[in-house]
Amino acid sequence: MVHPPSQNALEIYQKRKLQKQKQRVRSVDVKEALRLQNENNFVILDVRPEAEFKETHPPGAINVQIYRLIKEWTAWDIARRAAFAFFGIFSGTEENPEFMQSVEAKLDKNSKIIVACSSGGTMKPSQNLPEGQQSRSLIAAYLLVLNGYINVFHLNGGLYTWFKEGLPAASEE
């Protein structure tokens, strides 16, 4: 007779699986990212909202937003907008349900990808953040790895650091 695994065993398995996935994503600093883009045909996947991307982004970057503005006007979505507005956020967002589909249309599974957002987050644990600091780019990198992408890197320091360092920038406005 086979017994189902205990809840504790499932939690341990899921933590190990998550740790294994994290190990498949390497962080690179902004200057290394620029070098990889120029010399090794890496693509920068900018996961910020489309408006931020159009304002300024690294030259050659591709935009697929991981979160989008709330689109619908159902009672639930109006309540969500009101909740965001209560905290002074007048452009509330939700997960982009077409994120992976859009990435797959633009990049194949063997593409060399550096995932970037504004802040970058970090996978390095600290005393206050034992799991690191979550960010849009780390979430996106994790989704890419889960969906079979094998050359996934993460931009440490994010695009804020990229622009602060005076690295090349382009815009669509």
**Catalytic choice (61, 66, 117, 152):** 117
In order of 6, 64, 161, the CA distances from 120 in angstroms are 36, 16, 9
**Do residues 30 and 162 make contact, with C-beta atoms less than 8 angstroms apart?**
yes
**Do residues 116 and 44 make contact, with C-beta atoms less than 8 angstroms apart?**
yes
Q: Which helix (H) or strand (E) holds 152?
A: strand 151-155
Instruction: Enter the tokens of residue 162.
Output: 């990229």
**Do residues 80 and 67 make contact, with C-beta atoms less than 8 angstroms apart?**
no
Whole-number Å distance between alpha carbons of 22 and 68: 25
117 counts as catalytic: yes
Catalytic site positions:
117
